[in-house]
Structure 1
Amino acid sequence: MNAIPLVVLIVALLLVGVELGFVKAQLSVNFYDQTCPNVDAIVTGTITKLAEQSNVVPPSTLRLLVHDCFVEGCDGSILISSTATNLAERDAPDNQNFPQAPFDAIVEAKKAVEVVCPGVVSCADILAMSARDAVVFTGGPFWNVSKGRRDGLVSNAFRVAGRLPQASFDTRLLADNFAQVNLTVPDIVVLSGGHTIGVSHCNQFTDRLYNFSSFQQTDPSMDPSFVRTLKTQCPQVGKIPSTVQLFDVTTPFVFDNAYFKNLQQGLGLLFSDQVLFNDPFTRQFVNQLIASEEVFFQAFVDAMIKMTSIGVKTGTDGEIRRDCTAFNPPTVFKDHS
C-alpha cells in the first residue's frame, strides 16, 4: 500500500472531524431522557437474553450494524423486508448469508421498547444500541450510544453493490471502500477487530486454499496447519458454501485482541484479514493493538462512535418506524369540511 503523505492525511482527518462534529451535535446520549428514559436498559435486557440463548446473536448483530451503515448510512434500511414491488437491501447478494437471528433480535428489542415508549425510538437507534450490547456481552468495551437517528425511507438491493468491503480486498481497495464513508486506514484495522467473534462462510476464503494465483494454489501467508484444517472443513470438491469457519480460532466467543495476534501467526481467515498484517503500512497499527488490549478497546469504541455517525437521518428526515421490517404506511388525512 502506498504511504499517504502526512500533510494530506492531517488535512483529510481535520475535514472529516468537522463533518462528524456536526453530526454528533445532532445526536445525543441523552436524546430519549424525557421521552423514553429506560431505553438503553430495555434494549440491553432483550439482547442479553437472546445472546444467552444463541451465540449467533452477538457477532451477527454487530455485522448487521456495519452492513447497515455502509449502504444508506446508519438508518435501519437493512432491516426492511422485501415486498412484491421492492427487493430490499437485506436480500442483496452481499447480505444473503446473514442468519435470521440478528433481524429477529432487533424486532424483539423494538417490541420491548414499543410497550413502554410507543412510536418514540427509531429502529436505527435500537440497532446501534444492540450492537454495543453484543460487544459488551462477549467481553468487549461499553460505550454510551448517541441517539437521535431516524429510520430511512429507502431500502433497495441494487444500491448495495460496491458499497461493502469484500473478503478479497487488499489494503488499497479497503482504504478506497472505507474512504467512501469517511473512515480512515486506522479505522479499517480497528473495526476489522470485530472479527474476534463470529464466523465466515467457506466461499469467502476457499480461493486462498485452492486457487490463490496462477503460480500458487494456496496463499503462502497462511499457517500450513491452518490450511490443512480449513481444507478438511471446506473441501474443494462438493464443498457446501454455507459451511462456516470461526474467525478467531483461539477465543472465538470472546471479544478480545486475539484476532490481531492470530494475524501475526498467519491465522487470518479472510484475505482482507491477513493482508492487514502482511502490508507494512497497516501492520504498524495491528502491532499496536497486539501490544495492548486496552488500546484496542478504546480505539474500537472511538471507531464505532465514528462509524455509527455515517449518513444519519435526524430532525425531520426519515421516520420513526412502528415495525422495523416495514416502512410506515402513508398517513391519510381526511377532509372534515
Structure 2
Amino acid sequence: MPFDLFCTAIWEKPEPIAMSAFRSFFMCFVVAAAIVIPISAQLSPDFYDKLCPQALPTIRSILEKAIYHEPRLGASLLRVHFHDCFVNGCDASVLLDDTPNFTGEKTAGPNLNSLRGFEVIDEIKEAVNSACCGNVVSCADILAVAARDSVAILGGPSYQVLLGRRDARTASLNDANSDIPRPIFDFPALLSNFQNHGLDLNDLVLLSGGHTIGLARCTNFRDRIYNETNIKPKFAASLRGICPKEGGDDNTATLDATTANFDTEYFKDLLKLKGLLHSDQELFKGVGSASDGLVQYYNNNPGAFFADFGVSMIKMGNMKPLTGSDGEIRMNCRKIN
C-alpha cells in the first residue's frame, strides 16, 4: 500500500474500512499539497517543527525498539553518520546502493563488510514518509538524528541536531577510500585527516570517544595484539583467543569494557593501554602530549565529555551539507529519485 494511506486518521467514530482509507488518503493529500519546504542555506534545529512535527518522534520510536533488540545497532548508526560526513559532507551518499551503471561507497575499504544498520534506516524512512504524509525528511537528516538518538538511548548526551540537509545524487568510491580515517593510522595521520575536514584535536579525541560503544572486527586489530608493545600483555593475550593470526577476520571484540553503555570507559581503557585499535591507543601514549591531557581530562570529567561530544557532533554534522535547492530529498535512501 502506498505510504500516504498509512497516515494517521483523526476521526473519532469508527467507519467502514474503505471510507476510512479514503479519508486518510484525502487528509494526506491535503497536507502534502500544503507542504512548503523551506529554502535556506542554513541548518536549523527547528527545521521540521512546522513541516512535520511527527518526524523526530517517529525516528526515536523506531530506534528505541531496534536498539532494545540489538544494542550494537546504536554504535553502527553512529558510525554510518560519521562515514557519511567524512566523504564530501553529510549528504547520505553512503546510503546509495550500487547499480549496473553506478558504484557507491558501500564497497569502499572502510565500509565493506563493516557498515551496518541500513535496514533500520530504510524502516525509519518509510515510517517518516508515512507520518509526514509525504517525502519531506532527507536521508541525511535521518542519519544525523539517528546518530544522536542512538547515543542518547545508550546513556549518552542528547544534543540538539541541526537540520535541513538534502541528499546527494551521487557518491564517490575513491573519496570514501581516501577520506575516512583508518584504524591503522598513527597520531599525525589522524590529526591531519581531521584537520583536512575542518576539525581539530579536541574533535579528534571527542569523536574517537564514540568508540565507547560498539565492536571491531579482528582484521582491524590483529596487528596490534600480535605486534605492538604499547598494549597490556594480558589484554592482548585475551584478544588472541578471539582473533587468531590467520582466519577469523570477521570475529569481533568490544571497543571498550562497557560496550552497550555510552560512558567514559573508552578513555579509562586508553590510560590502561587497553585501546583495541591502533588508532585508539595513538591518542594516549603517556608522554604528556596534548592528546594525552585530553584523554585524562575526559576520563576524569564525564559531564564535560558528554557536553563536548555533542558540540563536536554538531560541528561534524555541519560539514558541507547540501541545503536549499541543492541535491534532493530521496524517496528511497538507497537510490536517487
TM-score, length-scaled by structure 1: 0.85
Is residue 138–residue 165 contact of structure 2 (8 Å, CA) maintained in 1? yes
Partner of 1:273 in structure 2? 280
Aligned residue among 46, 71, 75 for 2:87:
71
CA distance in 2, matches of 1:109, 1:85: 27
Residues 222-241 of structure 1 aligned to structure 2 (within 5 Å): 222-237=231-246, 239-241=247-249
Match of 2:76 in 1: 60
Q: Please give the alpha-carbon distance, in whole angstroms, between the structure 2 residues aligned to 1:105 and 1:144.
A: 22
Q: Which contiguous aligned blocks of 4+ residues in structure 1 show a shift greater than 2 angstroms?
A: 97-100
**SS of corresponding position for 2:253:** strand
CA shift, 1:228, in A, is 0.5
Give the alignment partner of residue 305 of structure 1, picking from 314, 319, 323: 314
**Structure 2: which amino acid aligns with 1:206?**
R
- 2:50: which partner in 1? 34
State the alpha-carbon separation in 1 of the partners of residues 114 and 230 from structure 2: 28
CA contact (8 A) 2:75 2:213 kept: yes
**2:167 counterpart of 1:151:** yes
1:66-215 alignment, distance < 5 Å: 66-100=82-116, 102-117=117-132, 118-210=134-226
The runs of 5 or more residues in structure 1 that have no matched partner are: 1-23, 211-217, 329-337
Residue 321 of structure 2 aligns with an amino acid whose one-letter code is V
Paired residue secondary structure (1:277): coil
How far apart, CA to CA, are the structure 2 residues paired with 1:171 and 1:25? 35
1:49-99 CA-partner distances (Å, limit 9, x unpaired): 111111221000000000000002100010111101111111212201225
Q: Secondary structure at the match of 2:284?
A: helix
Give the fraction of aligned pairs with identical amino acids, expressed as a percent: 39
Deviation, 1:327, is 0.3
What is residue 315 of structure 1 aligned with on the other side? 324
Q: TM-score, normalised by structure 2?
A: 0.85
Q: In structure 2, how many angstroms separate the alpha carbons of the residues matched to 1:99 and 1:64?
A: 6
**Mapped contact 2:225–2:231 kept (Cα < 8 A):** no
Counterpart AA for 1:260:
F
Question: Matched residue of 1:58: which SS?
Answer: helix
Amino acid at match of 2:231: M
The Cα offsets for residues 149-182 of structure 1, whole Å up to 9 and x where unpaired, read as: 0001111322212101111111110111011110
Kindly name which structure, 1 or 2, has the bigger radius of gyration based on alpha carbons: 2
Does residue 45 in structure 1 map to residue 61 in structure 2? yes
Task: Give yes or no for the alignment of 1:242 onto 2:250.
Answer: yes
**Aligned counterparts of 2:261 and 2:290: Cα–Cα separation in 1:** 27
Gaps of 5+ in 2: 1-39
Cα RMSD (Å): 1.3
Q: Is the partner of 1:86 in helix, strand or coil?
A: coil
